Amino acid sequence: MNIQPYTIHVTDDVLDDLRERLGRTRWPDTVDGAGWDYGANLDYIRELAEYWRTGFDWRAQEARLNSLPNYRAEVGGMGIHFIHVRGNGPHPLPIVLTHGWPSTFLEELEILPLLTDPAAHGGDAADAFDVVIPSLPGYGFSDRPSQKGTNPKRTAALWTELMQGLGYSRFVAHGGDWGAAVTTQLGLAHTDHVSGIHLSSATVVAPYLGEGSAPLSPAEEALVEHRDRWQAIEQGYSHEQRTKPLTLAYGLSDSPVGMLAWIVEKFWKWSDNKGDVEARFTKDELLTNATIYWATETIASSVRFYKESAADPVRFGPGERVEVPTGFAVFPGDSSQPPREWAERSYNVQRYTLMPSGGHFGAWEEPELLANELREFFRPLAGMD
């Protein structure tokens, strides 16, 4: 495998064009007292966009990202960007961490030092991990797919090839959102290389509920009712991205404010922030994430991942599930909190933890809590061949 060090660099022309576009934004109107009820809050997006134009220092963020060991590799005919940090411990356990949408590999960076060097953060060096953080295909500094079919199943195959190329014959995996879907596929189809998986989303696959399945528990019935309400009120973005991503992409690719509002609304809604998105993410963090999408022109390919995934969903039959040891961390600020019995329909659940705080972006919002959870779950698997 051809693996090369990679330096992130956005040209001045791209940054100048971004600022010019921000300065020429044609703003929508709204109604008095709209807040976030009608979508991304107009006052906040104005404030954030003005800071993006006049105060945000991309070069400082770029230098910070380049202080980490970035690489690109040709994997399955596709250029994949990733960060790879070896653990400081006697026998580090290889782990691949997969982000989701609308985040990027940034989602996993706060947890990175806690996993690679636990002894420096109050833990035990014996719990160290070798950490690989790839950018999903069509996200950030990975290639944008030009052919149909790049979905979680395909991505799991790419990750397995990448980990093999890095010298890891066996490894473990964690992810949330699309990262959970990819990680599920790793545990489903790559058991010859994957010793166990850990997820922060238990609803990325639909369990078998047909003839012969156990009746829904009261908690599961409440989950289904909640999911139906959520789909009616909150899932418009997903329906558009699953059905007509290209139509959506014209606006998102041409207007930085349109793209910013589309993304930031999800950080506000999905995180455990009590109504204040900056209680969890700084302006610089939100705008670093947005600038990666803008500079790499990957917002279109990122939303296309939804359509590719919908075309080939996981469907379990009677008695089918992911059999590798599986752990779950369920965060209270996430869009749903499925009960353990729901997860057990689709996975071999060995650990299921209701986290005390955090939301959809668990590794970003509560890195210490999640790092401890990963250490606890994967510790018994560290010596498996």
Q: How far apart are CA 3 and CA 182, in angstroms?
A: 22
pLDDT tens per residue, range 253-286: 999 999 999 999 999 999 999 999 999 999 999 9
Q: How far apart are CA 90 and CA 378, in angstroms?
A: 15
C-beta of residue 159 within 8 angstroms of C-beta of residue 182? yes
> CB-based burial of residue 91 (10 Å sphere; 0-12 exposed, 13-18 middle, 19+ buried)?
exposed
Query: CATH topology for 67-381?
Result: Rossmann fold (3.40.50)
**Mean confidence (pLDDT) of the chain:** 96
Q: How confident is the model at residue 314 (pLDDT cuts 50, 70, 90)?
A: confident
The DSSP call for residue 96 is E
How large is the average pLDDT for residues 39-54? 98
> In the 3-class helix/strand/coil scheme, how is 229-250 assigned residue by residue?
HHHHHHCHHHHHHHHCHHHHHH
Helices 299-310 and 283-296, packing angle to 10 deg: 80
Query: Comparing 239 with 203, which gets the higher pLDDT?
Result: 239
Query: What is the predicted pLDDT for the residue at 385?
Result: 46
Global confidence as pTM: 0.97
Name which of 90-94, 133-137, 200-204, 277-281 the model is least confident about.
200-204
The DSSP call for residue 72 is E
Q: How far apart are CA 93 and CA 173, in angstroms?
A: 10
Query: What is the predicted pLDDT for the residue at 31?
Result: 97
Q: How far apart are CA 55 and CA 167, in angstroms?
A: 43
Query: What is the predicted pLDDT for the residue at 152?
Result: 97
Q: How confident is the model at residue 172 (pLDDT cuts 50, 70, 90)?
A: very high
Query: What is the predicted pLDDT for the residue at 383?
Result: 63
What is residue 332's three-state secondary structure? coil
Q: What are the C-alpha distances in Å from 332 to residues 198, 228, 339, 342?
A: 17, 18, 12, 16
Mind telling me the catalytic residues?
Answer: 177, 306, 360
User: For the chain, what are the domain ranges?
Assistant: 67-381
Q: How confident is the model at residue 16 (pLDDT cuts 50, 70, 90)?
A: very high
Q: DSSP assignment of 319-358, as one string?
A: T--EEEEEEEEE-TTSS----HHHHHHHEEEEEEEE-SS-
Q: What are the C-alpha distances in Å from 71 to residues 5, 7, 248?
A: 4, 8, 31
Residue 384: is its pLDDT beyond 60?
Answer: no
The DSSP call for residue 359 is -
Q: How far is CA 166 from the centre of its chain?
A: 22
Query: What is the predicted pLDDT for the residue at 204?
Result: 84
What is residue 106's three-state secondary structure? helix
Two tokens, residue 8 = 């992130």
List of residues 6+ apart from 365 with CB closer than 8 A:
271, 272, 280, 331, 333, 357, 358, 359
pLDDT tens per residue, range 355-381: 999 999 999 999 999 999 999 999 998
How large is the average pLDDT for residues 81-95? 97
Query: What is the predicted pLDDT for the residue at 328?
Result: 97
CA gyration radius, the chain? 20
